[in-house]
Amino acid sequence: MTKNKQEHSGVWILAEQSDGQVQRISYELLTRGRDLADKRSTDLTAMIFGSDINAEDLQELIDCGADRVITMEAAALRHFLVEPYAACMLKIIEDYRPEIIIAGATSTGRTLMPYVAIKAHAGLTADCTVLDIEEDTGNLLQTRPAIGGNILATIKTPQHRPQMATVRPRSTKPAIKQDSRVGEIIRLKAPAECLASRINRVDFIPDESEHGLQEADVVVAVGRGIKKGENLSLTEPLCGSLEAALGATRDVVDRDWLSYPHQIGLSGKTVNPKLYLAFGISGTIQHLAGMQTSETIVAVNTDPDAQIFNVADFGIVGDLFEVLPVLTERINKIRNSQ
Partner 1 sequence: MRIIVPIKQVPETNAVRMDSKTGTMIRDGVEAIINPLDLYAIEIAIQLRQEHGGEVIAVSMGPAKAIAALREAIAMGCDSAVLLSDKAFAGADTWATSYVLAKAIEHMGDYDLIICGERATDGDTGQVGPGIASFLDLPVASYIGKVEQVSNKTCRLHRLVEDGHEVLDVELPAVLTMVKEVADPRLPTLRGKQRAKKVDIPVWTANDIDADADKLGLAGSPTRVVKIFRPQVARQCEKIVAMDESDIEQAVDKLVMFLQRKELI
Kindly state the smallest distance separating residue 178's Cβ from partner 1, in Å. Answer: 28
The answer to the question of residue 126 lying near partner 1 (CB under 8 A) is: yes
Cis, peptide link before residue 169, omega less than 30° from 0: no
Kindly state the smallest distance separating residue 47's Cβ from partner 1, in Å. Answer: 19
The answer to the question of residue 331 lying near partner 1 (CB under 8 A) is: yes
- CB closer to partner 1 out of 180 and 336: 336
> Sign (positive/negative) of CA torsion 89, 92, 97, 101?
negative
What is the residue-wise DSSP string for 274-324?
SEEEEES----HHHHTTTTT-SEEEEEES-TT-THHHH-SEEEES-HHHHH
Q: Which stretch binds partner 1 (CB under 8 A): 6-14, 33-41, 47-55, 145-153?
A: 145-153
Burial class (CB in 10 A: 0-12, 13-18, 19+), 203: exposed
Q: Single out the residue of 1, 185, 232, 323 in contact with partner 1 (rule: CB under 8 A).
A: 323
- CB closer to partner 1 out of 184 and 303: 303
Q: Single out the residue of 33, 65, 123, 247 in contact with partner 1 (rule: CB under 8 A).
A: 123
**Which residues ranging from 179 to 198 are in contact with partner 1 (CB under 8 A)?**
197-198
For 247, residues 6+ apart whose C-beta sits below 8 A from its C-beta are 213, 219, 220, 221, 222, 262, 263, 264, 269, 271, 291
The answer to the question of residue 240 lying near partner 1 (CB under 8 A) is: no
Reference 247, options 260, 262, 228, 269; nearest CA is 262
The answer to the question of residue 35 lying near partner 1 (CB under 8 A) is: no
The answer to the question of residue 201 lying near partner 1 (CB under 8 A) is: yes
Say if CB 33 and CB 62 are below 8 A apart. Answer: no
How many chain residues touch partner 1 (CB under 8 A)? 90
Interface characters, 58-97, with partner 1 (x: CB under 8 A): ---------------------x--xx--x-----------
Spatial separation of the C-alpha atoms in residues 235 and 331, rounded to whole Å: 13
Helices 82-96 and 109-120, axial angle in degrees (round to 10): 50
Kindly state the smallest distance separating residue 69's Cβ from partner 1, in Å. Answer: 23
The answer to the question of residue 275 lying near partner 1 (CB under 8 A) is: yes
Residues shown for the chain? 338
Region of residue 120 (phi > 0: left; psi between -120 and 50: alpha; otherwise: beta):
alpha
Q: Single out the residue of 72, 100, 219, 285 in contact with partner 1 (rule: CB under 8 A).
A: 285
Q: Single out the residue of 182, 203, 233, 336 in contact with partner 1 (rule: CB under 8 A).
A: 203
Spatial separation of the C-alpha atoms in residues 260 and 248, rounded to whole Å: 9
The answer to the question of residue 116 lying near partner 1 (CB under 8 A) is: yes
For 81, residues 6+ apart whose C-beta sits below 8 A from its C-beta are 197, 199, 201
The answer to the question of residue 317 lying near partner 1 (CB under 8 A) is: yes
The answer to the question of residue 210 lying near partner 1 (CB under 8 A) is: yes
The answer to the question of residue 127 lying near partner 1 (CB under 8 A) is: yes
Q: Single out the residue of 55, 147, 176, 186 in contact with partner 1 (rule: CB under 8 A).
A: 147
The answer to the question of residue 304 lying near partner 1 (CB under 8 A) is: yes
Kindly state the smallest distance separating residue 68's Cβ from partner 1, in Å. Answer: 26
The answer to the question of residue 176 lying near partner 1 (CB under 8 A) is: no
Kindly state the smallest distance separating residue 326's Cβ from partner 1, in Å. Answer: 5
Q: Which stretch binds partner 1 (CB under 8 A): 7-15, 35-43, 170-178, 326-334?
A: 326-334
Say if CB 161 and CB 261 are below 8 A apart. Answer: no
Amino acid at 89: M
